[in-house]
Amino acid sequence: MPTKILQKILDLTDRLGTIDLYITDTNFTLCCDGEKIRYSNTLVTYEEEKMTIDNGTQMTVTFNDLTTLLKSQKLDLGTFRIYNCTVPISKIQPDCLNGLVKTLESVQDLHIVKTVFSKLDANELYRIIPLFDTETLEEIDFVNCSTGCLLDDDLFRNVKTLKLLGDYGSLSIETIPYFTHFYIKVDFFTRDNAIGIRDVLLNAQNFQVCQFQFPHNDPTEIAEVFDPGYHGGETSLIQYNNRLFDFTINIGPGYLHIQKNHQGN
């Protein structure tokens, strides 16, 4: 049974579109379309309302409520976010991760359009992501996550949009050619990265648009990869054709934006 607080929220709700789960060292928070329920050691709190936890722990009560949400007939879930808010950032405790996995496993056909994962490592992501229905999952965002070799996995073959936000160091172009849309923020971006984009990504049939953000740099060496006759300047707009597709490429200090236009010659 859900907590009385969650049941109250469900009774007043016609549709559930977004669920956020926050995991900290000492408590959990569920956010249902902006309505926040906090689970501490002894209390469940919603606005000014408080309920004592008499049976179970804060973790079991949290995941019991999450199970109720995910199985609710009112669920029309567009976005599900999971945030690791431990301080300092560390792996989620094994019993917590096991509880989350068990909760997600209990829900058949977890149809979600967008997922956001914040500060999770590759092992945690490997256990969680396969539990989502990849036929309906269209966008996945990683915020300061350790993805490892995760992006090489077939799990993402149906995902259209990828966002990598945070400190991701360098870039491996070979891991991302099958996404149609993506936004990536990296610590540095090199001429070799640009060559990889030109030779690998821009030949991908499914690719449509991407944006890279990186620390301020001289865009000249990046622009020259796509336009050998480039003569410098703070920004440039390049029309690029690789005989397969036409692209509009916008380059400036700290960013690279590429849009596929149409079939090339």
DSSP annotation string for 195-264: HHHHHTGGG-SS--EEEEE-S---THHHHHHH-TT----S-EEEEEE-SSEEEEEEEETTEEEEEEEEE-
pLDDT of residue 147: 75
DSSP annotation string for 102-171: HHHHTSSS---SEEEEES--HHHHHHHGGGS-TTT--EEEEES---TTGGGSGGGTT--EEEEES---S-
> Which pTM value belongs to this model?
0.84
pLDDT of residue 174: 62
Domain range annotation of the chain? 1-137, 170-264
Please write the tens of the pLDDT for every residue from 149-179.
Answer: 676 666 676 788 888 887 665 566 666 666 7
pLDDT of residue 50: 94
pLDDT of residue 74: 87
Q: Is-contact 118 83, C-beta < 8 A? A: yes
Q: Is-contact 138 160, C-beta < 8 A? A: yes
**Mean pLDDT rounded to a whole number for the chain:** 87
Please write the tens of the pLDDT for every residue from 195-226.
Answer: 989 998 888 888 899 999 988 777 888 999 99
Please write the tens of the pLDDT for every residue from 9-54.
Answer: 999 888 989 999 999 988 999 999 999 999 999 999 999 999 999 8
Please write the tens of the pLDDT for every residue from 96-106.
Answer: 999 999 999 99
